[in-house]
Amino acid sequence: MKGHFGTNLGREEITPREVFFDRRRMMVGALAVGALAGPARTFAAGRGDAMQKIDVVPGRYSTDERPNSLKDIASYNNFYEFGTGKNDPARHAGKLTTRPWTVTIDGMVDNPGRYDLASLLEGVRLEERIYRLRCVEAWSMVVPWVGFELRTLLKRIGVRSSAKYVAFETLLRPEEMPGQKSRFIDWPYREGLRLDEAMHPLTILATGVYREPLPNQCGAPIRLVVPWKYGFKSIKSIVRITLTDTQPLTTWNQNAPQEYGFYANVNPEVDHPRWSQASERRIGDGFFARRRPTLPFNGYAKQVAHLYDGMDLRRFY
């Protein structure tokens, strides 16, 4: 699964747009529900580019909680590719080149290939969804993401019946991501979901926040958002999506399995070995603000608890 995807791509290395969309038109029940005017507008702005607003529609499933400010969202980040401090990504991520960008989709799919991101986004309806995000360190945030359902892409690409899991990889580019020069993680960063989790309508691929392209430190130009799981499951700056029939290795489950399970569902009854997960602080409220009770599945139990019927959630943490 390891790979290094740089920016100097020969045209022969990328699936041509006409091939991709010929395949797409052949699929039963095409999933395009609206066209974007200028798909490149969904990219995070590179150095020297002006930030542009993204055309979106209001999304379902949004919480009615007040979102955090863009300053909060863009300055408090776990993105170890740029350093372990919460403000390291904001300090260092400006060097990341996000255009051009390709995503390799492979494994148990009908149409594997290395796809230009603009082609993947063309014809996709972007929604704004205000989701809670819960950090394993007992902090939480409310973010107005802009994105689309992961299942839209998976259905378009054609998932084979033998597939059971979806694996993801982050970009590996240590010359622009200085945290990758450290060896405390086996880079690139990897994550994974069970297929039914990936196909759930709450699971999105985000390309923006506050109706603007994603800041680099937030996972530009495309990242996963799984709102009922701890934040480390929502992998950033994705360059590979692999469909497989075996549970994939994931970075934190591999590095510290006694602390981070594969599922990582928010569960106030299962503590991290070094701190309680029964309550949380909202980022922006201050360290001495009153803590909030942690909600099972981060408040999304009504939508997702059935996915885990019959499972021992202390064992499958």
Residue 285 included in any domain: no
- Tell me if the bond preceding 293 is cis, omega within 30° of 0: no
Residue 307 included in any domain: no
Query: Residue type for 46, please?
Result: G
Structure-derived torsion over alpha carbons of residues 76, 78, 84, 90, reported in degrees to the nearest 10: -50
Residue 152 included in any domain: yes
Residue 39 included in any domain: yes
Contact between 211 and 128 (Cβ < 8 Å): yes
Helix (H) or strand (E) holding 206: strand 204-209
| Predicted model pTM | 0.85
Q: What is the pLDDT of residue 288?
A: 84
Residue 109 included in any domain: yes
Residue 278 included in any domain: no
**Exposure letters 178-214 (e unless 16+ CB within 10 A, then b):** bbbeeeebebbbbbbbbbebbbbebbbbbbbbbeebb
Question: What's the pLDDT tens digit per position in 219-247?
Answer: 999 999 999 999 999 999 999 999 999 99
Q: What is the pLDDT of residue 21?
A: 40
Domain that holds residue 50: 11-261
In Å, how far are 32, 63, 107, 162 from 165, measured between CA atoms? 24, 28, 10, 10
**Pairing label, strands 127-134, 139-149:** antiparallel
Residue 212 included in any domain: yes
Residue 113 included in any domain: yes
Q: What is the pLDDT of residue 289?
A: 85
Question: 283, 262, 263, 260: which is closest to 271 by C-alpha?
Answer: 260
Mean pLDDT, consecutive 10-residue stretches, the chain (317 aa), reads 32 42 35 28 34 82 96 96 97 96 98 95 94 94 98 97 98 98 96 98 98 97 98 98 98 96 97 94 88 97 98 96
Helix (H) or strand (E) holding 240: strand 238-244
Q: What is the pLDDT of residue 104?
A: 98
Q: What is the pLDDT of residue 27?
A: 33
The total number of structural domains in the chain stands at 1
Q: What is the pLDDT of residue 6?
A: 30
- CATH number for the domain spanning 174: value is 3.90.420.10
Q: What is the pLDDT of residue 9?
A: 36
CB count within 10 Å of CB 2 equals 10
